[in-house]
Amino acid sequence: MKRRSILLLLLTLVPLLLPAQRRTVERTYVSTDKNVYVAGERVWCSAFCVEPSGKLSDVSRVAYLELHSADGLAATARLDLEDGRGAGALQLPGTLPTGNYRLIAYTAQNKAEQGYDYEGIAAKTISVFNVLTTERVTGGVEVVSGEEYEKMRFPVGAGNDAGVELRWEGNGLRLVNRAGEALSLSLSVYHDDGIRENANPGIADFLSACRTVGERTLDPQALSDYEGEVIRGRIVGFSPEMMPQLIGKYAFISSPSDKSDVYAAPIREDGSLVFFTGSIYGDKECICEIEGLQPDLNCHVELFPPYVGAEVAAAPALLVSESLADALRLRSVGMQLERRFAADTLYEFLPRPTDGLFDENVVIRYILDDYTRFPTMAEVFVEFIPEIRARRLSDGRRDIQVRLAEQVSNPFFSSGSALMMLDGVPVFDHEKIMQYDPLLVESIDIYPNTHFVGNRIFEGVVNFVTYKHNLPSFRFDGNARVIDYEGVCVPMAFTGASLPEGDYPDYRQTIYWHPLLSVGADENRRIDCRLPLYKGRFTAVAEGMSASGKPVKARISFEVR
């Protein structure tokens, strides 16, 4: 049994063990690659989730981001947190109106906190320009002359603090840790084209405010995202008379092509569901289904949205001027070229925790190549795979069993149910596996141990992996639903280091972005930074905190002619 499986199994008991006054209070700060964007860009984000002491929190595993304007909720994202640090990107829709927006961040702990202020010190204001439409945020834009705009621009503080130093060395940055202890930073380099930035609180203001939070009351029954997001849902489409047939059954959510994204929840008496998940990365299609449901029961799983949709006051009006036309045109060109030519070459995927639901060290894998082809699944099992057998049930259907490696008392086959999966999606009617075309299957992976999926026990797991990885020619039961699921962001850095010279017209506005930069005590590091084709003024910002919770920030500007 896997450690992760045990943790997910025990999570339902956690709210009963933690009184309200002893649960961890959290606040989340988000640094971004810059403060001014055009519609269609990504807002690159780095999250710092801390306790009131100012140290990083190890409780929540998910941070929720919401972007608001006077017209309502504009965009959302989820960041995976590992010991209080997380990274990702919030995609700005290309149709977003011009105006100022508020970016707020919170965890499940904040959702459980009475009177939590979503507009508090953790919120920040970013500006968005849409140069392809005249749409504006309601009451959120003020047009001024070029002269007035220059007068109203406020100076942004620059320089190095006592903890970290930044220097530009002609074709790269020099970052020096002077804090005397390890640092966790975000580092950004971007084009400073003279567009007015918003005055947002820095991480020093944020950490100072955190230490004055004091005791807060949290709902003791609220569930925290200890291992990953806690997904809530319900069964819809059933009548009270049908409920006895649902009690004791399990609902499942899973994702094709990712055998570890499988989660189960028992159906409660009121039809509600709670899935305790790990980190589900990226936007994907998920399959929601109910195990063992009679075909005449016309009901299905519905998942609740995870965001609170907070009531947020409108941000201050965005100042615009005709003098910004050239700068905004360059930003728009850079955004479109990046999305068209450099979507995959500029990014560097950062390490992320691996899902331990299925142990790849014990998998038994059979490749169905040209020498091991059989016309039916029954022949595949009989002639090729000794770890699997199909047993005939009393109703004539077949049940597939697995030879368990861990069960000494029964060295042959398990007596209980095994979990059959096709491209990572559970198949509860094993007769459908028996009838499936083996010519579509590339490999058969067998996990010969007992596994917990939620608190559902399976004696062995078998995953049939097709060539297309998308369940070709498979027909689901009537209760199954396919939904678009927004998982946590895949953590990435934006460096441009892998892009060959001349590969595309390089007009990047964000030149360099690393959201999870670890710098050792007294480390002196050289960071290569490839500049775009155009010349001008650029700004570099390093922001973060030390291991003991001290804020550090450095901001420098330099000219390239």
Q: Cβ neighbours of residue 529 under 8 Å, at least 6 residues apart?
A: 171, 172, 173, 189, 495, 511, 512
Query: Alpha-carbon distance 508 to 368, whole Å?
Result: 46
Helix (H, G, I), strand (E, B) or coil at 231: strand
391: number of Cβ within 10 Å: 12
The model's pTM: 0.92
Structure tokens at 258: 């990712």
Query: Alpha-carbon distance 258 to 396, whole Å?
Result: 32
Supply the pLDDT for residue 406: 63
Supply the pLDDT for residue 14: 47
Supply the pLDDT for residue 347: 81
Query: Alpha-carbon distance 222 to 522, whole Å?
Result: 42
To 5 degrees, how large is the angle CA 466–CA 468–CA 470?
85
Helix (H, G, I), strand (E, B) or coil at 13: helix
Query: Alpha-carbon distance 342 to 509, whole Å?
Result: 13
Supply the pLDDT for residue 7: 44
Average pLDDT along the chain, 561 residues, taken 10 residues at a time: 44 44 82 96 97 94 97 96 96 96 96 92 94 93 92 68 90 93 97 91 94 90 92 91 88 85 93 92 93 84 95 93 94 87 74 72 87 87 90 86 70 77 94 94 92 88 94 92 94 76 79 96 93 92 95 94 85
Supply the pLDDT for residue 155: 60
Supply the pLDDT for residue 41: 94
Supply the pLDDT for residue 497: 63
Residue 506, amino acid: D
Supply the pLDDT for residue 143: 94
Supply the pLDDT for residue 309: 94
Consecutive H or E run containing 250: strand 250-254
Supply the pLDDT for residue 241: 84
Supply the pLDDT for residue 489: 95
